[in-house]
Structure 1
């Protein structure tokens, strides 16, 4: 008899739930608006309602067909106690999510930080599968990261670790929302590339990028510079090369600390493929501390993209039951 798990990717905009089989395939999924701000109890009820709807829609029952439910959520998450100590995006503190959800849904509920859950998804079923140690980096609004060591999610003794985006690569550099200056995500995230592209366009009016965005800076995104570089634009080429150097700087730091088997790069920018990955590998090869070793960290693109959070959350019980 087939058995399934439920994976919940809890975001500030949407609650996405997937029905996942034992081969890590998403069989069906549902998504609803998170509708913040509202009390914790209402979010809990919404998660439960979507989970039940998905199970019923597939003519399954929790008792016979669902092994467990896993939830990936923003915030400082303690998976051992089931408590989210704080979730700044939601405005929740000391949120006893596991206890609440186990009262609303049959079976065991596991929780984990959303970036860690997504990293675990890539580790077991995506670009980092087959390794024992991996670091998954997501270049998005910030830089999300998850660390897997010997098959286990590593998040420090206080569940607040793996914030690699908030390591500094430029002393006294750009101010970051975390309170520091010069954080990696202020230079190497997709948002940073967008901001650098807009600044370059404001300073230089005569280039292909202006035509691509119809003279509207609001249309600039992280893909703009890559597209213009492919069209031969010199300014765009400089922007992409600078961005790649920033990304490589942080990756080399990660490798020198952990020497993981694989670093998996996710986020929309990762869809640039070898346009991004090839120069990244070249820079890393030149500066990685273990560059003379026969055993080198592989740098690969993510494969699961938006599904990583659901698959990782749905698989949390496997990690906990090892």
Structure 2
């Protein structure tokens, strides 16, 4: 008889660590932090994103791919080889873990766009990557690119996060930013592609919550070439940040004012210049307002942002010590790896916690 798991809307756990000087952090730290929140998951999804883990290939895009079968791999690799120069192709190194069963084929490719194809396309390099990712994920059945950034990677699957970390041998990796997620699926099935984080280029999102605006968000995004193939709200949030910041050139502050927009009564109390700006953002990008309870961590190669919904229906704590910034669903998950933080606080609803690498002025 199949197990039946109760629906717990407040479930899921998120955690993030960054070193502002870009110094390496072992993968064991983030595993310890997310493992402490074991009871927020149910074993149907866990994952990590890590930045700075591929210094020897830092100018290459690292494509992490799930395949259902060898035939699916062959078909997708024909496309990859046609559009990219592939420096290295290999199975991602894993180890046997009793709790992890029936994993897909998991490969990675360190690639650069073929110059003639890139020039003929008249696209930027990032847009070329995005279109190739969208094409494989929407048209190549049995193949799914789940990570596509430079000098970073996502590692995810079906299982508790600590088991996923063991499976991917994350104790052997070091990075200057780590985020993690323990999933309790609510509106979509627990499967390898549906686990968090969701990524595109070097954006990554881990998310606790349930977004009621998904269909509105997805319909808007699909007008601009994004393929929301997973029917999952976290995928849409990832694409929202890519659209607002990379495509539209909005600053982080303005993008956050779209995703977690101030309430209209708050806008009415702002000074005239700020009031007109926030009104314009809410009108122009009304379909990208994220509604419903959420706490998220947005990862990029230049820093992280943690954010609650506007009325704080999901928990989030933050702390600092020296050059380190910590964020997590629970304070205990921070203290597990930083027992005596210098500062620790609970952000207000809609109030972002922003950490950037030293010397970086913009998260783009």
Greater gyration radius? 1
**TM-score interval w.r.t. the shorter chain?**
0.3 to 0.5
More relative contact order, 1 or 2 (CA 8 Å, 6+ apart):
2
Give the structure with the higher percent helix: 1
Give the structure with the higher percent strand: 2
Question: What's the TM-score, normalizing by structure 2?
Answer: 0.30
